[in-house]
Structure 1
Amino acid sequence: MEAKMKRCVLAILLFIPISVFGGDLEDGRAAISSRDYAKARTLLTPLAEAGNPVAQNAVGVLYTEGWGVKQDYSVALAWYRRAANSGDARGQYNLGRMYDNGWGVQKDHREAVKWFRKAAEQKYSQAESILGAMYATGDGVDKDYGEAMKWYKRAAEQGDPEAQRRVGFMYVEGQGVPQDYAEAVTWFQKGADQGHTGSLYWLGRLYHEGKGVERNRDKAETFLKQAATQGSKEATEYFALQRNILQFILALDSDKDCNQRKLVNTELVIPPTSANNFTAVERWTLDRCGKPTFYRVTLNPSPRGGTDFKVGPER
């Protein structure tokens, strides 16, 4: 019966002119891009019910995100499964995500890997990247850095910025490949060129440390600031603590009350270290507040243009 139903669906798809599906499908996807989710649902649902796997995946996304419909992982799962069983790579990837996260179904990393692999074998870059991550962490498969690197590189070579960061990190750590900072810089640069936050952070860090590239503090600062403004706590911390932190302390206003500072945007909380290993900021908070305390490194827009970094105690 199931095989018969599949043949019926295939027949329907074969005898409906592509232009009929094409126009509504593209209009539906465009409606998602323009955030007109009600229109997207109206256009895509009939196509999905008629067996169009691209539309089935798109409707699944609407239910996953709660766009134009009440969020319902179980309904989303059903649509992804229909798309995946029809061979749609995006549907296979999204079905894997549902199993990986336990959305609408019991969490099952092995089942997630199965579907990620099906999509990755169709050269869907996001699936290649996440399959690499599964091998790197050992979720659903035996941990294997060599296999992780293989899938990361496949995605990275297609221009996936997160995969490019992951390839760079593997070269930094020497996981699955010999440690090679110059090669890491190459891949971080590719990700940074696409504005990827993690790649910007790592590229700035390697320029600062002179690993794989000639040390260049100006470039390091540029990349780290860009990553920090995009919300990278790692970049905020690294940038602030690698420079002379006393510059930031001197930039504080005259308000001496350590409980009154208003901190905005990207904030990083760092616990105090031992008394024998105080940083300049910890010494400052000790002097101002009378005891070791948590502090924040906060990124603030500068009225003079550019960026100011200010420090203040944790309240």
Structure 2
Amino acid sequence: MIDAVELYGLEALDDPFREDFERARALLDGPEWERGLEELETLAYAGSMLSTICVASCMWKGWYDHQDLAGAEAWYRVAAEAGYSAGHFGLGVTYHHMGRFSEASVEFQKAASRDYSPAYDALAYLYARGEGVALDRQKALALWRTGASQGHQRAKIALAKALIHGYGGVRGRLEGLAHLFRLMAEVFREPDAALAEKRVTPLPTVH
């Protein structure tokens, strides 16, 4: 089973359908994925916000014959209005993919204000590229540091890359290489965990 709290925020503890969601979500990783998706839809209509977010993510990723961004936006908004950090995050990713960068930054800010670690990485990406916000690489670096300090893998990788590419000067390049070596060591030390993370991707990203 996935760690719902880590992926969807502390609000996951408030979902009364959490156990049913976990069982249905696990089916997505096997041959019965279509049944799992049907069960998630049923749970979403019943009021399971975890299922709502997962259904939105499947729409975003094209599990329904085609990528349905409008459908994903609608479902993510339901979760966001219910106070779920992952709902704001998913809404932000959807807006980003639509090219609505300013709206994306607003949603990422809302998720980050709840200390939702993936949002720090997403916001940093916007500041690093000047999408929807003023270009500010130092702000991006600070956000990646925050996300990395919370153990968010994508933030760790992005932080290492940014430092190696000069965001922190010469000293930063050395720090970036140190981060990179640590990340490589983690992969060699726990290869099964790294593979599992690649398989289980219930939320889309801006990268």
Please indicate the TM-score interval, normalised by the length of the shorter structure.
0.7 to 0.9
Amino acid in the other structure paired with 1:166: A
Give percent identity, aligned residues only.
28
Say whether residues 1:70 and 2:61 are aligned partners.
no
Distance 1:118 1:64, change over 3 A: same
1:110 maps to a residue whose letter is S
Q: Which runs of 5+ in 1 are unaligned?
A: 1-13, 197-315
After superposition, the C-alpha distances for 1:76-98 in whole angstroms (9 at most, x for unaligned) are 22111111221222222111111
CA drift of 1:35 comes to: 5.3
- Any gaps of 5 or more consecutive residues in structure 2? 1-13, 189-207
**Bigger Rg, which one:** 1
Report the AA paired with residue 65 of structure 2: K
Sort the Cα spacing of 1:101 and 1:187 in 2 relative to 1 into closer, same or farther, 3 A.
Answer: same
- Name the structure 2 match of 1:150: 142
Determine which structure has greater relative contact order: mean sequence separation of CA pairs < 8 Å that are 6+ residues apart, divided by chain length.
Answer: 2
Of residues 113, 122, 131, the one that matches 1:121 is 113
CA RMSD in angstroms, aligned pairs only: 2.3
Q: Which whole-Å deviations, capped at 9, do the CAs of 1:53-82 have from their partners, x for residues lacking one?
A: 211101112222232x33322212211111
Task: Decide which of 151, 171, 179 is 2:170's aligned counterpart.
Answer: 179
Matched residues in 2 for 1:158 and 1:27: separation?
27
Change (3 A) 1:49 1:43: same
Checking the alignment, whether the CA contact within 8 Å between 1:27 and 1:43 is kept in structure 2 is: no
How much does 1:161 deviate?
3.0
Normalization by structure 2: what TM-score? Answer: 0.74
Opposite residue 52 of structure 2, the aligned amino acid is: Q
Query: In the TM superposition, what is the alpha-carbon distance from 1:190 to its structure 2 partner?
Result: 2.9
Q: Please give the alpha-carbon distance, in whole angstroms, between the structure 1 residues aligned to 2:30 and 2:182.
A: 29
Is the 2:18–2:50 Cα contact (8 Å) retained in structure 1? no
Residue 168, structure 1, aligned to residue 160, structure 2 = yes
Q: Show CA shifts across 1:106-141 (max 9, x none).
A: x21000111112222233332211110111111110
Q: Which residue of 2 aligns with 1:42?
A: 38
Check conservation: 1:96, 1:116, Cα contact below 8 A. yes
Q: Distance in 1 between matches of 2:184 and 2:80?
A: 33
How many residue pairs are counted as aligned between the two chains?
173
Larger helix share, 1 or 2? 2
**Greater fraction of residues in strand:** 1
Which contiguous aligned blocks of 4+ residues in structure 1 show a shift greater than 6 angstroms? none
> Is the Cα–Cα contact under 8 Å of residues 164 and 174 in structure 2 kept in the other structure?
no
The residue correspondences of 1:17-32 to structure 2 (distance < 5 A) are 18=16, 21-32=17-28
Change (3 A) 1:35 1:137: farther
Residue-by-residue CA offset, 1:128-171 (whole Å, 9 max, x unaligned): 11110111111110111221111101111222333223222333
The TM-score with structure 1 as length reference comes to 0.50
Q: Are 2:141 and 2:162, in contact at CA under 8 Å, matched by a contact in 1?
A: yes
